[in-house]
């Protein structure tokens, strides 16, 4: 069973006058660390929100951990971890309280929560800040708390939207190790603009543009798509540029 199976998925956003941010996308993903790449507006956030069951598909079929997106989603949500691009919190929450609260929302058995929260904070290197208030943290630390809440229930499907924004170089390296560990057991999908993160941390690349799948394969395969004439600082960036420019209808930006 694939953790994610989408067939001809369409997701319309912005109401009647909106647009199909995901537009006929077919994708199957299993265990491993999958990097989701694509230019601004490609539909990455909309796709991740849909996979996180926050946004409903408009048409097509989607199955998450074996459950159709139109079916009972509560049991699926218990097995999901999701770090949104932007997440809200009460500034007066302590770090521990915030992660506990999210664990409770995910309907974890109460007796398991304290230990799970301690372990999640340990994994993101924030054990020593557990009793500090959220408002006292730096932007990168808030992001790490966001990662902690996403992994607190040991999800089988972990969806991370721009998780490395604001992380310093040492923390980015630690993050890569962490997702490699998580990807041995779970399906991890990471949206990012940092091609180097994908090259270093992902077993598989999913490239979307204009709401549909452009490429799926290994970072090495993506690298072979580029040539010296394509823009980029590394083979994988040149591969990315080659595949995006082949489809792009946008301007120079």
Ligand X SMILES: Nc1ncnc2c1ncn2[C@@H]1O[C@H](COP(=O)(O)OP(=O)(O)OP(=O)(O)O)[C@@H](O)[C@H]1O
For residue 66, the minimal CB distance to ligand X (Å) is 25
For residue 161, the minimal CB distance to ligand X (Å) is 8
CA dihedral 67, 72, 73, 79 (to 10 degrees): -60
| H-type alpha helices, 9-156 | 44-51, 74-78, 95-105, 113-123, 139-151
**What span, in angstroms and rounded, lies between the C-alpha atoms of 178 and 170?**
12
For residue 244, the minimal CB distance to ligand X (Å) is 12
For residue 125, the minimal CB distance to ligand X (Å) is 26
Binding site for ligand X (CB under 6 A): 13-14, 18-19, 21, 38, 40-46
Chain residue whose CB lies nearest ligand X: 14
Measured from the CB atom, is 156 or 162 closer to ligand X?
162
Backbone angles phi, psi at 28, to 5 degrees: -125, 130
- Residue 109, classed as helix, strand or coil, is coil
For residue 205, the minimal CB distance to ligand X (Å) is 15
Measured from the CB atom, is 45 or 149 closer to ligand X?
45
Measured from the CB atom, is 13 or 142 closer to ligand X?
13
Measured from the CB atom, is 38 or 146 closer to ligand X?
38
Residue 149 CB partners (closer than 8 Å, separation 6+): 81, 83, 98, 99, 102, 103, 120
Are 172 and 199 in contact, with CB atoms under 8 Å apart? no
Are 167 and 175 in contact, with CB atoms under 8 Å apart? yes
Measured from the CB atom, is 106 or 143 closer to ligand X?
143
């Amino acid at each position: 069973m694939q953790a994610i199976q989408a067939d001809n998925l369409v997701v319309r956003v912005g109401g009647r006058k909106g647009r199909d941010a995901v537009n006929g996308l077919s994708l199957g993903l299993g265990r491993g660390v999958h990097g989701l790449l694509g230019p601004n507006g490609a539909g990455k956030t909309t796709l991740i929100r849909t996979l996180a069951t926050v946004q409903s598909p408009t048409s097509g079929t989607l199955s998450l951990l074996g459950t159709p997106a139109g079916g009972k989603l509560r049991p699926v949500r218990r097995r999901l971890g999701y770090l949104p691009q932007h997440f809200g919190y009460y500034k007066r929450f302590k770090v521990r309280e915030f992660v506990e609260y999210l664990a409770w929302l995910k309907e974890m058995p109460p007796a398991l929560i304290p230990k799970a929260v301690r372990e999640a904070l340990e994994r993101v290197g924030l054990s020593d800040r557990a009793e500090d208030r959220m408002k006292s943290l730096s932007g990168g630390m808030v992001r790490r708390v966001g990662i902690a809440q996403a992994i607190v229930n040991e999800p089988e499907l972990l969806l991370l939207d721009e998780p490395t924004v604001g992380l310093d170089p040492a923390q980015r390296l630690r993050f890569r190790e962490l997702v490699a560990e998580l990807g041995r057991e779970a399906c991890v999908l990471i949206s990012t603009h940092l091609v180097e993160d994908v090259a270093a941390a992902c077993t598989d690349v999913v490239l979307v543009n204009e709401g549909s799948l452009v490429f799926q394969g290994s970072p090495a395969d993506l690298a072979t798509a580029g040539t010296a004439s394509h823009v980029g600082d590394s083979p994988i960036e040149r591969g990315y540029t080659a595949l995006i420019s082949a489809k792009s209808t946008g301007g120079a930006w």
